[in-house]
């Protein structure tokens, strides 16, 4: 049996990014406790990890106080609805996990004297007036708009994480993630990549909001996980942007997905959602300087892997 070098707790560990993070931590020789309510996470995401004796899954809501036995070296807090479909359906729950859930995760890190990483989001920048977005930018967020439940939950989480560091001495760091994509994303979660891939595989029109000129910066999930772990292992307090500084329009992403899938689906333009960001591109100079990190996976390669996974999942579901 492999001997673990340290113990990590991952909240939201059965989610998209969380499951990849658990997988990488196990591969690196750590003992991993995965905490997830399975409200948006999926047991299928971690099914291949369950036989590992160094992996423990606990189905629990982080909005309730929770604990794990023994020493803990690292708490990585990823629990939260992250897609528009989910946080618009569960606005109050999203705010609660950003406030009460973050408090409980920070309390665990304080009790265990563990390093704490808060997985925040580029959404704290809102519809940015600064481009590209640097960590020093305060953002342009509508506090009462439909997206505010997610934006403000993460902004509060950042403030709370900072307060625990400054006033309670907890060793914390904040990461701001930009447009992570890859296998294990829910097919219909409302984010641009799974939406386009799902539509293309079904031969449905690819629904591009507005005129498609708004931009996104896609970062493959394995690159995101590498950035998170380098940040966790550093002595930095953040925030630090973790994302791809290559910018694509939404229309360009749709065209690449059509090409990779071989789909003849038409492009269909729909109304732009309220408060939809017009641009999104991180300045990652801090991550490069402090962590020696930048994304390695070309977007076309990452999209090809995502398409292959979603196609296989769709075929498996059809045969079942």
Given a cut of 70, the residues of the chain with pLDDT beneath it are 1-4
Q: Label residue 126 left, alpha or beta by phi (over 0 means left) and psi (-120 to 50 means alpha).
A: left
Digit-coded pLDDT (tens) for 188-240:
788 999 999 999 999 999 999 999 999 999 999 999 999 999 999 999 999 99
Collapse the DSSP code of 17 into the 3-class scheme (helix H, G, I; strand E, B; otherwise coil) and give the result.
Answer: helix
| The predicted structure's pLDDT at residue 274 | 86
pLDDT value of position 124: 97
Q: Which of 120, 118, 127 is nearest to 147 (CA)?
A: 127
Q: Residue 187 has what pLDDT?
A: 80
Q: Indicate the pairing of strand 7-11 with strand 172-177.
A: unpaired
Residues 67, 258: Cα–Cα separation, whole Å: 46
Question: What domains are defined for the chain?
Answer: 7-180+219-244+281-297 (3.40.50.720)
Dihedral over alpha carbons 252, 255, 260, 265 (to 10 degrees):
150
Q: Give the pLDDT score at 189.
A: 82
* Phi, psi (rounded to 5 degrees) for 219: -120, 120
Task: Kindly list the catalytic residues.
Answer: 150
Are 256 and 300 within 8 A, CB to CB? yes
């Amino acid at each position: 049996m492999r001997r673990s070098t340290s113990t990590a707790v991952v909240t939201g560990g059965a989610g998209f990014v969380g499951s990849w993070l658990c997988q990488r931590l196990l591969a690196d020789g750590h003992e991993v406790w995965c905490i997830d309510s399975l409200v948006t996470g999926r047991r299928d995401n971690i099914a291949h990890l369950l036989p590992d004796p160094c992996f423990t899954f606990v189905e629990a809501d982080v909005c309730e106080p929770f604990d794990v036995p023994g020493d803990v070296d690292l708490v990585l807090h990823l629990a939260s609805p992250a897609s528009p479909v989910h946080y618009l359906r569960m606005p109050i729950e999203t705010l609660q996990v950003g406030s009460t859930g973050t408090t409980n995760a920070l309390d665990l890190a304080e009790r265990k004297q563990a390093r704490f990483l808060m997985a925040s989001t580029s959404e704290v920048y809102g519809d940015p007036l600064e481009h590209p977005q640097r960590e020093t930018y305060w953002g342009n967020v509508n506090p009462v708009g439909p997206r505010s439940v997610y934006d403000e939950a993460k902004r509060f989480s950042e403030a709370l994480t900072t307060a625990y560091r400054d006033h309670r001495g907890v060793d914390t760091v904040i990461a701001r993630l930009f447009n992570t994509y890859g296998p294990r994303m829910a097919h219909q979660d409302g984010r641009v990549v799974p939406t386009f891939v799902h539509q293309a595989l079904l031969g449905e029109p690819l629904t591009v909001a507005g005129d498609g000129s708004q931009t996104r910066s896609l970062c493959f999930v394995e690159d995101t996980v590498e950035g998170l772990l380098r940040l966790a292992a550093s002595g930095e307090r953040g925030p630090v942007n973790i994302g791809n500084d290559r910018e694509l329009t939404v229309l360009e992403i749709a065209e690449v997905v059509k090409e990779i899938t071989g789909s003849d689906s038409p492009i269909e333009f729909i109304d732009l959602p309220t408060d939809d960001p017009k641009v999104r591109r991180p300045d990652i100079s801090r991550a490069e300087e402090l962590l020696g990190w930048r994304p390695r996976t070309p977007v076309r390669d990452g999209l090809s892997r995502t398409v292959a996974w979603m196609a296989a999942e769709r075929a498996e579901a059809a045969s079942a």
